[in-house]
Amino acid sequence: MSAIRENVFPTRMNLQNTKIRLRGAQTGHSLLKRKSEALSMRFVEIVRKIQDAKLKMGKVIQNASFSLAEVAYTAGDIGFQVRENSKTATFKLISRQENVSGVLLPVFEKSIEGGNAFELAGLSRGGKQVKNCKDMYISAMETLVELASLQTAFLLLDEIIKLTNRRVAAIEFIIIPRIENTISYISSELDEQDREEFYRLKKVQSKKKEAKDLAIESNNQTKENSEPFEPKNILAEQVDEDIIF
């Protein structure tokens, strides 16, 4: 089975562009890998805080329920007085965002505004128990807000980490191998073209040399055939020999 690659025309320009894309993919893979590691570290920290907050929440709710029972025993039912004195909410939430490696995590914080809705409660009896109950429930609300903030960040980070890991895996096992196979294909095709061009040039030079040798040989034969015939003077040679003897 052939390797998966992109359908590109093997040219040096495409080879250069593909190498640039490979460097970009490797850089993106490195950045996403570090982002995933940072988010995972924050995720583990949030999980630990959630465990502590849940343990704390159980204890605080238990103490608050027990303090409410003390108020009911000493002062009776004070719910009517509290509802009559409560005109606006005093315990409010403020939402802000925290940036963690490019991910905006929601953070909830408490904000206590307005007067005291319990100022008339417990005047006859049980004032200390009412104040203690108020403090306990305020502590429970603070713990509940902290737990809600951690749970929201937990769910959001879980999705972001899964998405980031999928992107890292896609770049590492799909995009980068495909680009590398494309580079190998273009390089092999260009090498084959260079070998074909080299062979073609050698054949052209060989043909030119053969043609040049044939032309030189033909010129030599033409010169030999075009030289004039000069007959020897036999009579003059005999006279010279008689003179010598």
Domain extents in the chain: 12-186
pLDDT of res. 227: 55
CATH architecture for segment(s) 12-186 = Orthogonal Bundle (1.10)
Least confident span in 110-119, 151-160, 164-173: 110-119
The more confidently predicted of residues 20 and 211 is: 20
The more confidently predicted of residues 209 and 227 is: 209
Q: What is the mean pLDDT of residues 128-150?
A: 86
CA dist., res. 237 & res. 245, Å (int)? 13
Q: What angle do CA 40, 46, 52 make, to 5 degrees?
A: 145
The more confidently predicted of residues 47 and 127 is: 47
CA dist., res. 11 & res. 47, Å (int)? 53
Q: What is the mean pLDDT of residues 191-207?
A: 88
Least confident span in 80-84, 211-215, 219-223: 80-84
